[in-house]
Amino acid sequence: MKMNAVSIHIIIQQLFLFQTSTGISANIFLLFLQLFTFLQDFRVKPTDIISCHLALVHMVMLLIALCLSSPDIFESLKLQSDFKCKVLIYIHRVTRAISISTTCLLSVFQAITISPRTPCLVRLKHKFTNYVICIVIFFWSYNLSFGSILIFHTVVYSNTSQQNLININEQCSIAPINPIIKGLIFILTLFRDIFLVGLMLLSSAYMVILLFRHQRQSKHLHSTRLNPRVSPEQRATKTILLMVSFFVIIYWADIIIIIISLLWKYDRVLFGVQKLVLNFYATVCPIVQTTSHKIIKATVYNIQ
C-alpha cells in the first residue's frame, strides 16, 4: 500500500527535525573544539578562523531553518508575523550565501597553504593571512546588501490576496518581483555562484594534483612503514576536499530540485525534500571537520 502525500510529508518533517538538531549540535561541538584547541596552544591559524566562522554561519542557518519549518517555534517568537517572516527569510538567504563564500575562501586558502614555497605564493599567503577578517566582513557586507530585496517582497501568506506566491512555509511567502529586477537578481546570483563554485573546483583540482604528486614522491619513504602518519597539512587538505565535494553535489541537487519545482506545481513533499537538501551541507560539514580534527585524531590514535 502506497503512502499518501501527508504521510510522506510527516516523515520528511521528522527527518528535517533530526537533521537540524544534529547539525546544530555538531556545529556547537566544533566551535567548542576550536576554542579548546586555542586554549591549549594560544595560536590561531587563518584556517581556524574560517572554520569557526563557517560553523557559526551554519549554526545560525540551521536555527533559522528550524524556526521557519516549525509552526510552534515560529509562533512562540513574540514578534509581529510580518516582521518575523522578513527577518528569518532574509537571514537564512544571507547565511546560505555566506556559507558558499566561506567554503570557497577555505578551499582557496588551503590550496595556497600547501603550494610550493615560491616567493610569489609566500607573499600571497601572507596577504591572505592578514586580510582574512577583512574578507569575511566583505562577505557579510556584500550579501547583506545583495539580499535586502527579499525584505520588501516577503509577506505573510494570510495577509495578502496576491497570486503566484512562492511559499516558504505555512506562514511566509515571497511576493512576485518585477520581471526586470527578478532577471537581474537571477543573473547576479548565478554569476556569483558559478564564480565561487568554479573557484572551489579549480582550487580542489590543484590540491588533488599536489597531493598526488607528494604521495608519489614520498612513496619510497612510506614503503617501510605499516602505518605512515599523515601530516596536518595533508589531513586538512583532504578534509576540505571532502567538504567541497559534498558542497558541489548538494548545490547541483538543489539546482535540479528548483528546476523541477518551476516546471511542476508547488508540492509540499518536493519542498520538504528541498529543505533537507538545502541544509544537508550545514549538517555534514561540521561532522567532517570534527572527525578529522587533530584532537579527535590523536585521541583515536592513542586508543588504538
pLDDT grade, residue 95 (50/70/90)? very high
Query: What is the mean predicted confidence (pLDDT) over 86-104?
Result: 90
DSSP string, 163-182: SS-EESSSSEEE----HHHH
pLDDT of the residue at 125: 77
CA 7 to CA 79: how far, in whole Å? 31
pLDDT of the residue at 165: 63
pLDDT grade, residue 57 (50/70/90)? very high
**pLDDT > 70? residue 157:** no
Q: Which of 23-32, 188-197, 226-235, 246-255 has the lowest mean pLDDT?
A: 226-235
pLDDT in tens, 123-140: 777 777 788 889 999 999
pLDDT grade, residue 1 (50/70/90)? very low
Would you call 33 exposed, middle or buried from its count of C-beta atoms within 10 A (0-12, 13-18, 19+)? buried
Give me the residue spans of the domains in the chain.
5-219+230-302
**pLDDT > 70? residue 290:** yes
CA 37 to CA 60: how far, in whole Å? 22
pLDDT of the residue at 118: 75
pLDDT of the residue at 300: 42
pLDDT grade, residue 161 (50/70/90)? low
CATH superfamily membership of 5-219+230-302? Rhodopsin 7-helix transmembrane proteins (1.20.1070.10)
Is the distance from CB of 288 to CB of 246 less than 8 angstroms? yes
**pLDDT > 50? residue 216:** yes
CA 287 to CA 303: how far, in whole Å? 20
Nearest CA-CA partner of 278 in 96, 71, 30, 51? 96
Query: What is the mean predicted confidence (pLDDT) over 263-273?
Result: 72
Q: Which of 7-16, 34-43, 142-151 has the lowest mean pLDDT?
A: 34-43
Q: Quote the mean pLDDT of the chain.
A: 79
Is the distance from CB of 203 to CB of 110 less than 8 angstroms? yes
Within 8 A by CB and 6+ apart from 280, the residues are: 19, 246, 250
pLDDT of the residue at 231: 66
pLDDT of the residue at 148: 81
CA 291 to CA 30: how far, in whole Å? 10
* Reported pTM: 0.84
Which ranges of the chain would DSSP assign to H, the alpha helix? 5-41, 46-69, 71-76, 81-113, 119-146, 149-153, 179-217, 219-222, 232-263, 268-278, 280-291, 294-303
Within 8 A by CB and 6+ apart from 62, the residues are: 20, 23, 24, 27, 279, 282, 283
pLDDT of the residue at 69: 79
Three-state DSSP at 29 gives helix
